[in-house]
Structure 1
């Protein structure tokens, strides 16, 4: 069996390492256009902020490790064309410019995603950079050394983590987003209000509800970001607007969402036999709604890549879907969410209710007992849990993993009230916060 893999970040690495173990007789060739593999892009802000000193720790695999497993890793090789029917690839060696063809029995598409780059006037000025891969992280670190005023465009996880890292390093930082709240995909307003206050209290300028219309420069280098509501000095601009699937090669050959995400079934197979896709290039089954959606997260990628390997020869392990579970630390706050927010549920036309609990996370007789805020969203008629969010200075984020399991298993808010959770005064109260949410919803 001849397996070809295009792209080798999270999903690709998981697919390759598992396939090499499951099918030792297979001939596996991976084509990667970059000069490194398996970079944890979610660690960029930690690297930029100096929390991670040695970037080698942000890589968990290498061509050498794959070679030991018998995998042919073709670094700096760009796949130019794919014939999914004829099972052929056209590839360019970026070092020699040689173009050659290869064939496959099974194709694994793990081409990932790429940052959205808007066609704004001045976008090509120097010191306007992206934040996705290892090369970007090194560029950001190098350019930020001389920068005094840094503007980050996009208030998702990467953007928010970067502004904190820059502020801690003594920079004047502005965060711009066209939405009127940060992290609006993941959290409802009562949570983003607290997070925004933490950013503002630390001197970060928030320019929310503003759209960038132009970049101005001096001597070819960016000097100012102009929005529809204001102007901001900038020596360095980081674009964190979002991601699009890297799937141009397959347009017209495979079924996709309008944004280019390849539609896969429960066994990671695309609309073509023997062609599989995983990670940021593919759709996921989003359990709160039951729909196929695009949710680019490293956790989704490694699960999907592992499933590709297990299902390459025959369907054996079904994908159980995702809740889009994620977390972030913003200064002293530990924040996590899973599933639908109340605002997202209503935007999708779902008749949803929510219950919010504010309570000390452990008994008041303990030396400290910080307040935690937990919100659980559920469907009005069925009372099925749809989502949850938590924010606290004590790290209670693992409770959102528990809520993810609840959504996965289609539990109701009433069942949550009486789930058996342990009690120990160091950690919680006799009624766990999750229990209290269920009880209050009754």
Structure 2
């Protein structure tokens, strides 16, 4: 069995390693256009901020390790054409320009995503950078050494983590986003307001509801970012506007979402036989809405890549879908979220409600008892849990994983209220705060008077 794999980051590495172990007789060829594999891009801000000193620790595999499994890894080779009907591909060595043809019995597409790069006037100026891969991170660190004024465009997870890292390194930092709130895809206003204040209290300037119109520079280097709301001095700009799936190779060959994300079934099969996809290049089944969505996360990628290998010969283990569970630490605040926010649920046309609790996570007689804020979103009619968000100075983020399982299993607020959790004063109260949220959403019971009248 000849297996060709295009792309080798999270999903690709998981698919390759598991395929090699499950099918030792398989002939596996990997095509990777970069000069490294398996880089944990979610660690870029930690590397930029100096928390991670050795960048090699952000890699969890290498061509040498894959070779030990019998895998032929062709580094710096970009696949330029694929024919899924004839089961052929053409690749180019990006160093020499030499092209080669190959055939396959099974094709695994793990081409990932690439940053969205709008065409702003002045984009060609030096010191306007992306933040996606290992080479980007090294360039950011190199350029940041001499930078004083750093502007980050895009207030998603990567952008927010980067502004914190730059501020901790003594830079003057501005965060620009066209939306009215940071992290708006993950958190409702109660949480974003607190996080925005935290950033501002640390001296970070927020320029929200402003769109970049152009960059200005001097001697070929950026000096200013101009938006619809102002002008901001900058000798280093990082673009973190978002990502789109890198799937041009399979255009018009397999089913895709409008944004180009490849649609796969629960066994990671595309609409074309013997062609599989995983990771940021494809859509996932989103359990809160019960339909496919584009949610590029490393956790989704490694699960899907592992499932590709398991299902390569025949459908064996199905994907359970995702809740898009994620977390972030901003200064002293531990934040996590899963599923739909209240605003996102209503935007989906779901008749949703929410309960928010603020309480100490463990008894007040303990030496410390940090406040936790938890919001749980649910569907009114069915009472089905749709999402949750949590913030605390104490690290309670694992509780969001519990809510994620609740969503996956279609649990209700009543079930959350009475689910069994242990009690120990070091860790929680007799009523765990997750129970408390469920209790807070219980509907009123009939009164005695109403019962008698019946």
> Pairwise mapping of residues 278-427 of structure 1 onto structure 2 (< 5 A)?
278-427=278-427
What is residue 209 of structure 1 aligned with on the other side?
209
The alignment's TM-score, normalised by the length of structure 2, stands at: 0.97
Runs of 4 or more consecutive aligned structure 1 residues displaced over 4 Å after TM superposition:
none
What is residue 11 of structure 2 aligned with on the other side?
11
- 1:123-158 CA deviation, whole Å, 9 max, x = no partner? 111100000000000000000000000000000000
- 1:30-63 CA deviation, whole Å, 9 max, x = no partner? 0000000000000000000000000000000000
What is residue 136 of structure 1 aligned with on the other side?
136
1-structure distance, mates of 2:264, 2:190:
36
1-structure distance, mates of 2:33, 2:372:
45
Q: Tell me, what secondary structure is at the counterpart of 2:418?
A: coil
2-structure distance, mates of 1:125, 1:88:
40
2-structure distance, mates of 1:164, 1:95:
37
> Pairwise mapping of residues 157-168 of structure 1 onto structure 2 (< 5 A)?
157-168=157-168
- Are 2:53 and 1:22 equivalent residues in the alignment? no
- 1:253-295 CA deviation, whole Å, 9 max, x = no partner? 1111111100101100001000000000001000000010000
2-structure distance, mates of 1:96, 1:115:
26
1-structure distance, mates of 2:422, 2:7:
44
What is residue 111 of structure 2 aligned with on the other side?
111
What is residue 240 of structure 2 aligned with on the other side?
240
Q: Tell me, what secondary structure is at the counterpart of 2:439?
A: helix
What is residue 78 of structure 1 aligned with on the other side?
78
What is residue 452 of structure 2 aligned with on the other side?
none
2-structure distance, mates of 1:98, 1:213:
40
What is residue 125 of structure 1 aligned with on the other side?
125
2-structure distance, mates of 1:170, 1:349:
45
1-structure distance, mates of 2:95, 2:375:
53
Q: Report the alpha carbon displacement of residue 325 of structure 1 after superposing the two structures with TM.
A: 0.1
Q: Report the alpha carbon displacement of residue 95 of structure 1 after superposing the two structures with TM.
A: 2.2
2-structure distance, mates of 1:346, 1:386:
11
The aligned length equals 442
2-structure distance, mates of 1:130, 1:96:
26
- 1:74-125 CA deviation, whole Å, 9 max, x = no partner? 0000101000100000011122211110000000000000000001111111
Q: Tell me, what secondary structure is at the counterpart of 2:391?
A: strand
What is residue 450 of structure 2 aligned with on the other side?
none
What is residue 155 of structure 2 aligned with on the other side?
155
Q: Report the alpha carbon displacement of residue 429 of structure 1 after superposing the two structures with TM.
A: 0.6
Q: CA RMSD in A?
A: 0.5
What is residue 98 of structure 2 aligned with on the other side?
98
- Structure ID, larger Rg: 2
Q: Tell me, what secondary structure is at the counterpart of 2:324?
A: coil
What is residue 447 of structure 2 aligned with on the other side?
none
Q: Tell me, what secondary structure is at the counterpart of 1:300?
A: helix
The alignment's TM-score, normalised by the length of structure 1, stands at: 1.00
2-structure distance, mates of 1:94, 1:354:
52
Q: Tell me, what secondary structure is at the counterpart of 1:417?
A: helix
What is residue 63 of structure 1 aligned with on the other side?
63
2-structure distance, mates of 1:183, 1:156:
5
Unpaired stretches in structure 2, ≥5 consecutive residues: 443-454
What is residue 431 of structure 2 aligned with on the other side?
431
Q: Tell me, what secondary structure is at the counterpart of 2:173?
A: strand
What is residue 51 of structure 1 aligned with on the other side?
51
Q: Report the alpha carbon displacement of residue 166 of structure 1 after superposing the two structures with TM.
A: 0.1
